[in-house]
């Protein structure tokens, strides 16, 4: 076998050495990081349309075509079975499983995204790289970070049940705080979610307040509002257990950017003598909260356009929590300042 291959191998070796220079110039199939990846994957794009004559395109009318096809024929029987996803999830072993929520037939499907928001593009093109430069901390080559000691406590004692038990949290309340990993391109803080919360204790006596609050929160956030009951009796705040008192909306993905840009570019600049968001806000893990009074909520363009449709004196104020991936308030504040939210007073980290 090897002997039989020998001549061909020798020939190929010779050929290899006497390769003409033209071959070196030929475009090679090798892919570099710099070469356009798509071009290598497929030569033809799915966006390309096969050539059709102009007259054919102009004459094409799908409705007319289907009518012509059905002309003089018996119509097909209406389909017996039309799929409807189950209303309730009855567990993983049930034969009738609901489709995933990304499927348009699912009851949980929410269409979108409808656009690529301007604020998101600004974040990607400008803000993210500036934050990276601002918060980067250089460590010299060969630097080894000090070993992080165990932050949870061991169970000490001679009880046999201590073996294999999960570690105890540290003494005192509060639990463990988030660690601040060194900044790199993968952990630049970004806005993940906004929660709009409006509490209306008057709704306990007159539910109209809750309906109006729900309509307003939905109108300004473009998200279905969720109502909440009071969990305890609080005499000081006039809360009674089990009564509906508040509405929230979790604004995520594309809506976040639309809501924030509306808030920052339209609503907040119109507040008279507004100092900004208090510098003391924040839960020390990168989430910033501030409140809006009823007259500010009324300045949202969606409310303003038909202000008269809302019952007078029922427009509620609201709290807005901006959740970020920052691990401390300082970085979260940096991010929100670059988005355009001003802070005032003493800054607490």
Partner 1 sequence: MNAGQQTTRRLVSRTGPSICRSCLDTLSRQPYSTAAAAAIQTEPQEALPITPPTPSPSYALHAGILVSRPPLLTRPPHPFESAYHLYQKRLNERLALPFTRYFYIKKNTPGDLEWKRKIKQRLTPARDIGRYRGYGDEAWNDEVLVGAQESEMAWQVERLLEDAERDGGEEEGKKGEGVQTVGGPKKLEREPVERPMPRVTEADEKGDVRSLGRLLQRSLYLVVKNKEGEWVFPQDRLIGKESLHNAAERVLVQSGGYNMNTWVVGNVPVGHYQHDFVPEHLAKSANPTELGLKTFFMKVRIMAGQADLKSNKLGLTDFKWLAKEEVQKTVDEKYWRSIKNMLAER
Distance CA 275, CA 278 (A): 8
Q: Is 17 one of the binding residues for partner 1 (CB under 8 A)?
A: no
Nearest-CA neighbor of 277 among 348, 177, 196, 213? 348
- Neighbour count for residue 195 (Cβ, 10 Å): 19
Q: Is 109 one of the binding residues for partner 1 (CB under 8 A)?
A: yes
User: What string of H, E and C letters represents the secondary structure of 221-281?
Assistant: HCCCCEEEECCCCECCCCECCCCEEEEEEEEECHHHHHHHHHHHHHHHHHCCCCCCEECCC
Q: Is 121 one of the binding residues for partner 1 (CB under 8 A)?
A: yes
Distance CA 192, CA 288 (A): 12
Of 188 and 239, CB closest to partner 1: 188
Q: Is 148 one of the binding residues for partner 1 (CB under 8 A)?
A: no
Q: Is 81 one of the binding residues for partner 1 (CB under 8 A)?
A: no
Binding residue for partner 1, selected from 86, 112, 170, 269, defined by CB under 8 A: 112
Per-residue binding string, partner 1, 55-74, x by CB under 8 A, is --x--x-xx-----------
Report CA 31 to chain centroid distance, whole Å.
Answer: 33
Cis peptide bond upstream of 113, omega within 30: yes
Q: Is 155 one of the binding residues for partner 1 (CB under 8 A)?
A: no
Of 21 and 145, CB closest to partner 1: 145
φ and ψ at 94, to 5 degrees? Answer: -70, 140
Binding residue for partner 1, selected from 134, 167, 208, 348, defined by CB under 8 A: 134
Distance CA 129, CA 123 (A): 8
Q: Is 113 one of the binding residues for partner 1 (CB under 8 A)?
A: yes
- Neighbour count for residue 277 (Cβ, 10 Å): 23
Question: By three-state DSSP, how is residue 322 classified?
Answer: strand
Q: Is 139 one of the binding residues for partner 1 (CB under 8 A)?
A: yes
Per-residue binding string, partner 1, 162-181, x by CB under 8 A, is --------------------
Q: Is 37 one of the binding residues for partner 1 (CB under 8 A)?
A: no
Of 9 and 70, CB closest to partner 1: 70
Q: Is 125 one of the binding residues for partner 1 (CB under 8 A)?
A: yes
CA 33 vs CA 43, 150, 229: distances in Å: 18, 41, 55
Of 18 and 133, CB closest to partner 1: 133
**To the nearest whole angstrom, how small is the minimum distance from the Cβ of residue 161 to partner 1?**
36
Of 259 and 334, CB closest to partner 1: 334
**To the nearest whole angstrom, how small is the minimum distance from the Cβ of residue 111 to partner 1?**
4
- Neighbour count for residue 153 (Cβ, 10 Å): 11
Nearest-CA neighbor of 199 among 244, 150, 149? 244
Query: What kind and span of H or E run contains 333?
Result: helix 329-339
Of 99 and 291, CB closest to partner 1: 99
Q: How many residues bind partner 1, per CB under 8 A?
A: 35
Of 91 and 142, CB closest to partner 1: 142
Q: Is 104 one of the binding residues for partner 1 (CB under 8 A)?
A: yes
Residues at the contact surface with partner 1, assessed by CB under 8 A: 47, 49, 52, 57, 60, 62-63, 104, 109, 111-116, 118, 121-122, 124-126, 129-130, 133-136, 138-140, 143, 146, 305-306, 309
């Amino acid at each position: 076998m090897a002997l039989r291959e020998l001549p061909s191998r020798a020939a190929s070796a010779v050929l290899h050495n006497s390769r003409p220079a033209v071959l070196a110039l030929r475009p090679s199939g090798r892919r570099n990081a710099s070469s356009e990846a798509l071009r290598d994957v497929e030569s033809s794009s799915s966006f390309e349309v096969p050539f059709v004559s102009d007259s054919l395109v102009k004459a094409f009318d799908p409705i007319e075509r289907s009518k012509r096809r059905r002309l003089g024929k018996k119509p097909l029987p209406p389909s017996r079975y039309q799929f409807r996803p189950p209303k309730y999830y009855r567990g993983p072993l049930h034969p009738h499983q609901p489709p995933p929520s990304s499927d348009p037939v699912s009851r949980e499907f929410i269409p979108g995204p409808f656009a690529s928001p301007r604020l998101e593009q600004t974040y990607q093109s400008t803000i993210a790289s500036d934050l990276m430069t601002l918060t980067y901390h250089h460590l010299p080559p060969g630097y080894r970070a000090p070993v992080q000691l165990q932050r949870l406590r061991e169970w000490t004692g001679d009880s046999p049940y201590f073996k294999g038990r999960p570690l105890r949290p540290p003494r005192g309340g509060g639990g463990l705080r988030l660690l601040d990993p060194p900044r790199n391109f993968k952990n630049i803080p970004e806005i993940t979610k906004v929660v709009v919360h409006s509490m209306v204790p008057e709704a306990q006596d007159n539910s109209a307040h809750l309906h109006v609050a729900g309509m307003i929160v939905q109108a300004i956030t473009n998200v279905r509002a969720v109502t909440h009951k009071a969990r305890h009796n609080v005499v000081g705040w006039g809360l009674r257990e089990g009564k509906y008192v508040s509405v929230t909306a979790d604004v995520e993905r594309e809506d976040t950017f639309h809501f924030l840009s509306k808030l920052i570019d339209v609503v907040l600049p119109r507040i008279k003598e507004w100092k900004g968001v208090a510098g003391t806000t924040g839960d020390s893990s990168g989430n910033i909260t501030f409140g809006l009074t009823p007259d500010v909520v009324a300045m949202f363009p969606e409310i303003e356009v038909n202000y008269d449709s809302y019952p007078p004196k029922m427009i509620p104020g609201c709290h807005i929590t901006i959740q970020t991936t920052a691990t401390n308030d300082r970085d979260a504040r940096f991010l929100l300042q670059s988005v355009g939210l001003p802070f005032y007073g003493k800054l607490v980290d």
